[in-house]
């Protein structure tokens, strides 16, 4: 086997675009896809229902229906992709930032202190969007259902952790920057009456 065959058809590694060099963007997209597939495969428990991939100012959102949901509900048209508004800290235009959004974990529970929000994946827990920023939510803060309350970083993918219910944050169970396990309690929210 020669170098051309080992790389899928040409020396540049691309079988479909034989004869033309791969671009930085193609390399970045390939890496993002590999990372997303690895993340999806690594999440134990119920399968992911929603994944958002973002590269520079473009993103792709894929959502699968919940088991048992009628096909008519699942077939609703998805919103058109729009440029992302979050500024990138990278300076190179071809640098990728990939994110995956995971619906609330099936293990989220309600205990005496409130609704326990659990880690959607194994990774690193962050309470703030960047080191110098304020935390997404503090004990005593009122949060709305669906608002971001933390991040879990898994394999360079930032997974937003969203409040599954509206209410008041009554406890934070994990330290900022600490490793967390899948389904580990991150914080508790007392639902609004």
Domain contains 164: yes
Q: 185 to each of 7, 53, 109, 146, how far by Cα in Å?
A: 44, 26, 9, 17
Q: How high is the mean pLDDT of the chain?
A: 71
Domain contains 104: no
- Residues 117, 165, single domain; the answer is yes
Count of domains forming the chain: 2
Give 25-64 pLDDT, tens digit per residue.
777 777 777 777 777 767 766 666 677 766 666 667 766 6
pLDDT for residue 31: 76
Q: In whole angstroms, give the CA distance from residue 151 to residue 136.
A: 9
**Cα 16–chain centre separation:** 29
Last residue of a domain, one of 31, 50, 74: 74
Domain contains 66: yes
Compute, in degrees rounded to 10, the torsion defined by CA atoms 45, 51, 55, 60. 160
pLDDT mean over 96-124: 62
3-state secondary structure of 37: helix
Domain contains 31: yes
Domain contains 90: no
Q: In whole angstroms, give the CA distance from residue 128 to residue 148.
A: 10
- Residues 67, 118, single domain; the answer is no
Domain contains 92: no
Least confident of 112-116, 160-164, 175-179: 112-116
> Is the pLDDT confidence value at 68 over 70?
no
Give 129-166 pLDDT, tens digit per residue.
999 999 999 999 999 999 999 999 998 899 999 999 99
pLDDT for residue 32: 73
Last residue of a domain, one of 48, 74, 100: 74
3-state secondary structure of 185: strand
For the chain, the C-alpha Rg in angstroms (whole number) is 20
Domain contains 163: yes
**113 is in which domain, residue-wise?**
109-191
Q: In whole angstroms, give the CA distance from residue 65 to residue 50.
A: 9
User: Mean pLDDT highest for which of 8-17, 56-65, 93-102, 180-189?
Assistant: 180-189
Last residue of a domain, one of 51, 74, 97: 74
Of the two residues 103 and 79, the one the predictor is more confident about is 79
Domain contains 47: yes
Q: 89 to each of 7, 27, 28, 32, 76, how far by Cα in Å?
A: 32, 20, 16, 17, 34
Write the CATH number for 163: 2.40.50.100
- pLDDT over 70, % of the chain: 52
Q: Which two tokens stand for residue 116?
A: 């326990």
């Amino acid at each position: 086997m020669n170098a051309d065959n080992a790389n899928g058809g040409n020396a540049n590694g691309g079988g479909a675009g034989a004869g033309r060099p791969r671009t930085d963007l193609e390399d970045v997209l390939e890496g993002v896809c590999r990372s997303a597939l690895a993340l999806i495969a690594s999440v134990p428990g119920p399968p992911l229902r929603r994944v958002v991939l973002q590269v520079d100012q473009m993103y792709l959102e894929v959502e699968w229906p919940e088991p048992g949901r009628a096909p008519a509900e699942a077939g609703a048209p998805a919103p058109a992709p729009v440029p992302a508004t979050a500024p990138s800290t990278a300076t190179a235009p071809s640098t990728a930032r990939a994110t995956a959004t995971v619906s609330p974990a099936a293990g989220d529970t309600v205990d005496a202190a409130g609704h326990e929000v659990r880690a959607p994946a194994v990774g690193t827990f962050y309470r703030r969007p960047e080191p110098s920023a304020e935390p997404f939510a503090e004990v005593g803060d009122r949060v709305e259902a669906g608002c971001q309350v933390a991040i879990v970083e898994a394999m360079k993918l930032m997974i937003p952790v969203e409040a599954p219910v509206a209410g008041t944050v009554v406890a934070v169970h994990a330290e900022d920057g600490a490793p967390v396990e899948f389904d580990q309690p991150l914080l508790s929210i007392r639902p609004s009456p």
